[in-house]
Amino acid sequence: MTGHRKWAEIRRARRVRAAPPPADAALETVRFEGYGPGGAAVLVECVTGDRGRTGAAVRRTFVQHGGKLGADGSVSYLFNTVGLMVYPPGTDEERLMQVALEAGAEDVVPSSDRSVEVLADPLELETVRSVLTHHGFAPASAEVTQRAATSMELTGEPAELMVHLLDALEQLDEVRNVYSNVEISDEVLARI
């Protein structure tokens, strides 16, 4: 059986980050929601000084890669705001789980790449991280992020098109984060 990886794992492994916004512009944070090839949910967070221009660029990118922009609220209900701490492969998962749950974490989740994720209430992230670090578990990364409540597995051509869409969205200057509920097969990832 072929393995699958969630977009968040793929993105983390590639460390995709957009350029910072210009310092002199009057900026606002906007969110766009849509569907990729195969119907997977996509949430795009942007920081922009021109909502219309950014919206047009995001819409064009969706269309060019087989997706479509949706209305506000069309996919955001599929995502939860969470505090996320990531630990590298080889971390003592059992001990981490014990300390994390005692510190107030909500869950400890092993990933397919053998890393371990600790989930916490976003308001408690710094407290949980401090306790974990005190006990020798300094996370490789810690952030407040969006996490899909359910996932959608894609293979074949729809999966390839979805990877291209997500990559293209992340390349837009105003885009800060792209979230999806898609799981892509290792076979597709090896081809791309």
What pLDDT, in 10s, does the model give residues 160-177? 999 999 999 999 999 999
Has this prediction a pTM greater than 0.85?
no
What pLDDT, in 10s, does the model give residues 111-127? 878 899 999 999 999 99
- Per-domain boundaries in the chain: 4-77+149-191, 80-147
Whole-number Cα distances in Å, 103 to 92, 109, 110, 124, 144: 16, 16, 18, 10, 17
* Collapsed DSSP state (helix, strand, coil) of residue 16: coil
Instruction: For residues 94 and 62, give the distance between their C-alpha atoms in angstroms, rounded to a whole number.
Output: 42
Q: Which CATH number fits domain 4-77+149-191: 3.30.365.10, 3.30.70.940, 3.30.70.980, 1.10.10.60?
A: 3.30.70.980
For residue 145, the surrounding DSSP H or E stretch is strand 141-148
pLDDT number for residue 7: 58
What pLDDT, in 10s, does the model give residues 14-41? 544 445 555 556 899 999 999 999 999 9
What pLDDT, in 10s, does the model give residues 151-162? 999 988 899 999
DSSP letter string, 91-131: --HHHHHHHHHHHT-SEEEE-TTS-EEEEE-GGGHHHHHHH
Identical topology for domains 4-77+149-191 and 80-147: yes
| Position 106 confidence tier, pLDDT thresholds 50, 70, 90 | very high
CB 116 within 8 A of CB 93: yes
Domain 80-147 fold: Alpha-Beta Plaits (3.30.70)
Instruction: For residues 9 and 122, give the distance between their C-alpha atoms in angstroms, rounded to a whole number.
Output: 19
